Amino acid sequence: MSNLNNLYRQAILEEANHPRHKGKLENESVEVELRNPTCGDVITLTALIEDNKIKDIAFDGYGCTISQSSASIMTNEVLNKDFDTIKNMVLSFSDMITKEVKPDRKVLGEAIILEGVKQFPARIKCAMLSWKAIYQLIEKYEGKGEKND
């Protein structure tokens, strides 16, 4: 199991050092910013939404390795998925890192590499930040409806 943990650790570092979807969209449908005062992490999510699906997404901000790798993985996993699927992913991710629940790779995809975070309670909020942000982004979008140009 230690070889698997080392592989996951390397993958987490790689995500943090070379994040995907890093930046800000210029033609976003909705934007949300969240902070983790415990660690100092800050994330701003911007997303382009069409037909209640994430058609494009980016994150910006700063924080620890766990928060940045989690944001990179999350943005990649939610791309082209519908809101209900994403909300289910958020709940499954939360269960994976806060409870003794066996994660479902079909639901979480590569986010499963963050399962080990539950061993470090101080880092759970770091890992959850971007997942909370996507949930709030969807809620915000659903509350305001389509963006008018």
Give domain limits for the chain: 2-144
CA–CA distance, 11 with 65 (Å, rounded to integer)? 11
Give the mean pLDDT of 5-16: 72
Residue 69 has which token pair?
Answer: 């790798």
Q: Residue 104: pLDDT above 60?
A: yes
Q: 76, 110 in Cβ contact below 8 A?
A: yes
Average pLDDT taken over every residue of the chain: 90
Q: In residues, how long is the chain? A: 149
CATH number of 2-144: 3.90.1010.10
Residue 21 has which token pair?
Answer: 């979807």
Q: Residue 99: pLDDT above 80?
A: yes
Q: 36, 125 in Cβ contact below 8 A?
A: yes
Say what the pTM is.
0.88
Q: In percent, how much of the chain has pLDDT > 90? A: 74
